Amino acid sequence: MRLSVGKNAADASVRRLRKEAELNAVNAGLTVVPENGSNGQPSIAAAVAEYLEETRISKKPRTFAAHSMALGYFVESCPKIFLADIARKDVLEFCAFLRDKKQQAPRSVYNKFESVMTFLKANGIRGLVGKNDWPRYVEEEPEIYSKAELKTFLSACDAQEKLWFEFFLMTGEREQEVMYTYWSDIKFTESIVRVTHKPDRGWTPKTYKEREIPIPAKLFKALKAWKAKSEQTCNLVFPTAGCNPKLDFLDCCKAIAKRAGLNPDGFWLHKFRATFATLALWAGVDLRTVQQWLGHSHIESTMRYLKPSRSQQVREKVNKIFS
């Protein structure tokens, strides 16, 4: 038998979670209580549905999708019906379920575990697990482009492509921040670019924080020349036809790398951001300033880019120490 779930994707996701919870209960030989029990306790399915609806309204679509997937897996793994019955063992078994049944990578297990803990906390459930119960993953060191790679890559670009990726490299902006950069965000008199809310396009910066980043003279000059040739009626710096945000920067990046005789697997957009941050720190810019440029909420995120320098100057200093 098929059930109508409406035309809204969020509603369909919520109803799916409810039905999965009911079916899991039936398979476990339990009585199905899809909403509240006789004692007024909320069911897990009802609590998840309410939480996801609030998330859909108040958070970004990507956040909603991540929470929806994590809680869907939790409902699938947990045999309990009522929210109040969730115990430490259920949460630990959820981790094992993600690892063994869903073949999730350690970082993905952590992220989904964190989503479930946020859901439980929002429902007043705290203290189920200790610090050592949280899943662990290896924090990989950010990769950056070498000067040789950048020279080869940019040499294979046409003028337009070169501006795209020099903008990524010299501002450290995230992909969507570049996509939604307006000409009004670029302050030519101050040589800065701002990351701002775009209510007319339904876009908001990550963590809802606006910020500004200094533009180096080389990029400033290229942007000024590009503005003179751009479509004056479109407010986007890098639009597609019809003044829409450009969505295929990553595909273009890999195509250029292939054209340049480089390995496309070694080229992705966030690597430009990591390179920007690392070069800024190597140049002596203080952590707090780089944190503000990158839009990080926590300085620990910025500290990941404190990679050891392997420059000739560093080698010379080491040689002097032991000469």
In this predicted model, what pLDDT tens digit does every residue of 160-206 receive, in sequence order?
A: 999 999 999 999 999 999 999 999 999 999 999 999 999 999 898 98
The pLDDT assigned to 1 comes to: 47
pLDDT at 45 over 80: yes
The pLDDT assigned to 36 comes to: 52
Provide the percentage of residues in the chain whose pLDDT is more than 70.
87
Residue boundaries of the structural domains of the chain? 9-133, 147-307
The pLDDT assigned to 165 comes to: 98
The pLDDT assigned to 83 comes to: 92
pLDDT at 69 over 80: yes
Fold topology of 147-307: hpI Integrase; Chain A (1.10.443)
pLDDT at 147 over 90: yes
Taking residues 276-298, what's their average pLDDT?
94
Taking residues 96-117, what's their average pLDDT?
94
Q: What is the mean pLDDT of the chain?
A: 87
Which position has the higher pLDDT, 232 or 119? Answer: 119
**What is the Cα–Cα distance from 204 to 123, expressed in whole angstroms?**
27
Q: CA–CA distance from 107 to each of 66, 110, 139, 237, 278 (Å)? A: 13, 5, 9, 35, 23
Q: CA–CA distance from 114 to each of 20, 54, 98, 214, 233 (Å)? A: 22, 18, 13, 35, 44
The pLDDT assigned to 16 comes to: 63
Rg of the chain over Cα atoms, rounded to whole angstroms, equals 25
CATH 1.10.150 fits 9-133, yes or no: yes
**What is the Cα–Cα distance from 296 to 172, expressed in whole angstroms?**
12
**Per-residue confidence band for 321, with pLDDT thresholds at 50, 70 and 90:** confident
pLDDT at 75 over 90: yes
The pLDDT assigned to 237 comes to: 96
Give the tokens for residue 139.
């924090």
The pLDDT assigned to 9 comes to: 56
What are 1-16's pLDDT values in tens digits?
454 554 555 445 555 6
Provide the percentage of residues in the chain whose pLDDT is more than 90.
70
Lowest mean pLDDT segment, chosen from 90-94, 171-175, 229-233, 266-270: 229-233
- φ and ψ of 214, to 5 deg: -70, 145
Q: Are 261 and 152 spatial neighbours (Cβ–Cβ below 8 Å)?
A: yes
